[in-house]
Structure 1
Amino acid sequence: MCVPGCREELERHFSRRGLLTRLAAAGAAGAVATMPGPAEAVPPRPKQIRVRRFVDLTHTLDPRFPTWDGHPGIELKKVASVETDGFNIFEWNLAEHSGTHIDAPFHISATGQTVELIPVEKLVVPLAVVDIAHKAESEPDYRLNIYDILEWERIHGRLRRGSCVAMYSGWGRHIGTPRYRNRDDKGVMRFPGFHAEAAEFLARERDAAGLAVDTLSLDHGSSKNFRVHKVWLGSGRWGLECVANLHDVPPRGATLVVGAPKVRGASGGPCRLIALV
């Protein structure tokens, strides 16, 4: 039995409680919907690269640029002009390994990776510059060795995994002169490069992604067996030759962007190199 007014009070009570229950349920559902899922489901924040300046590490390629065999690396033939056709077009006769260029593993191995198959994530890497210019000045056959790398690490810290390790020999200042190829009286070229043991060390102990030189070859000029090419490219890694302006990049801290050509089946090719400093 209910006293007068009891029924109305009970209806108000249960009606209010139902409303509160529904609101609480809705709030809980909303909270669940907005809660982050498991850690692996949250996408990682992209790493930010702070850039103060850009350094072009690429020489301008023209028929006069020095090459390994002395023949022009590129020849351009004009086949259309603005005056007669309304637009300019050139045909290029291009040797793959001319100017500032990349060597793909296929350059030295029949089963190696061709240039278009190099993953893009391996073409944007930390850049380490090892300065041997003072040694190369007095010894053109100098080869960057393990001790040079360890001395660099003593000063700048351990090389980052996946880096491109660049040899700065100062040889770029000889572009446009016979000194760049530096042929002796027997026709043998004499310029610095990497030592094969250093290449093995960087591949095995530091897991570097690439080598770079400011000369015509990863190997020193008088090499007869191209051991560095075989060791380095044979391990599935890439190399860069005729790199410019390494003097304008700090020993550590820059990021290298390799604009490699995407040509099916190619063993390498001219590329645009940019250092983000």
Structure 2
Amino acid sequence: MTYYDLSHSIRSGMPVFPGDPPVDITPAATVEDDGYHVAALHCGSHTGTHIDAPSHVFRDGSELDSIAVDEFVFDARLVDCTDKSLREPIGAAELPVPDGTADLLLCHTGWDECWGTDRYFDHPYLTPGAAERCREADWSVGLDTLNPDPTPTENATDSEPAGFQAHHTLLGNGLFVIENLTGLESLPAGGSVVTLVAFPLPIAEADGAPIRAVAIDSDGQLDDGPF
């Protein structure tokens, strides 16, 4: 089997959703002064590569620690969305036909190349129709972007869906949202299915939590070239 880490490293100053707590990692103890090294970590529950719980957008939604751990292991199928440009929608017609082989779609936009820049916030997004298509197919969604919905920036337009419609459609129907993936270009295209392990940190009453997202290819037959 071949394992692929699809997670951004957590580090000070990394991108966060506008208004979320900034990430700050500072020494709390050092080998020189204390005989051991400990870092103080300050961050929000939706830091870096992470998974959302229904309670993220619903007052009475489930929290991550109430969900069985096996629910965070997915049969994942890659969708090529690399033709999308700045704030361009991903429509329902661009998603695959459901065939029962996957329970999570990985939307590969290539936007992780913009990580750490202002452009990262002007990512492609799912239309309400695309989110509804995922609901009908019983697909959770993972993306290499900050958000399945448009993220507010000065480049937003009136034609974009307002609020968190994709979040509500998915999280309101027992599906998950995984954000800020990276390295999706390593995974097989053409409808192949890999196992995606996305265990969240065991934070009590969590509305979301960082994950170490790892894709597992059982036969090791991964494409090396572009899609």
Q: 1:238 corresponds to which residue?
A: 176
The answer to whether residue 3 in structure 2 is matched with residue 59 in structure 1 is: no
Provide the C-alpha distance between the structure 1 equivalents of 2:118 and 2:76, rounded to a whole number of angstroms: 29
1:132 partner letter: C
What is the deviation of 1:260?
0.8
Q: Tell me if structure 2 keeps the 8 A contact 1:126–1:253.
A: yes
Contact 1:112/1:236 (8 A) holds in 2: no
SS of 1:83's equivalent in the other structure is helix
Identify which of structures 1 and 2 has the higher relative contact order when contacts are C-alpha pairs closer than 8 Å and 6+ apart.
2
* Alpha-carbon offset, residue 103 of structure 1: 0.8
- Report the residue type matching 1:105 in the other structure: P
The question of 1:212 aligning with 2:142 is answered yes
Q: 1:176 deviation in Å?
A: 2.4
TM-score norm. by structure 2 comes to 0.84
1:249 aligned partner: 187
d(CA) in 2 for partners of 1:242, 1:90: 23
Deviation >6 Å, runs of 4+? none
Q: Is the 8 A contact 2:52 2:178 kept in 1?
A: yes
Residue identity (%): 28
State the one-letter code of the partner of 2:91: N
In the TM superposition, residue 72 of structure 1 has moved relative to its aligned partner by 6.0
The alignment covers a number of residue pairs equal to: 207
2:209 aligns with 269
Q: Could you tell me which amino acid in structure 2 is paired with residue 271 of structure 1?
A: I
TM-score normalized with structure 1 length: 0.70
Whole-Å separation in 2 of the counterparts to 1:148 and 1:237: 20
Unaligned runs of 5+ in 2: 218-227
Could you tell me how far apart the structure 2 residues matched to 1:70 and 1:203 are?
A: 28
Greater gyration radius: 1
Question: Are the aligned partners of 2:75 and 2:101 in contact in 1 as well (CA < 8 Å)?
Answer: yes
Partner amino acid for 2:178? Answer: L
Secondary structure in 1 matching 2:119: coil
Please state how far the C-alpha of 1:70 moved relative to its aligned partner.
Answer: 6.5
Counterpart residue type for residue 17 of structure 2 = W
Is 2:101–2:193's contact at 8 Å kept on the other side of the alignment? no
Listed as ranges, the gaps of 5+ residues in structure 1 are 1-50, 182-189
Matched, 1:202 2:160: no
What CA RMSD, in Å, does the superposition of the two structures yield over aligned residues? 1.8
Distance 1:245 1:216 in 2: 14
CA distance in 1, matches of 2:112, 2:18: 18
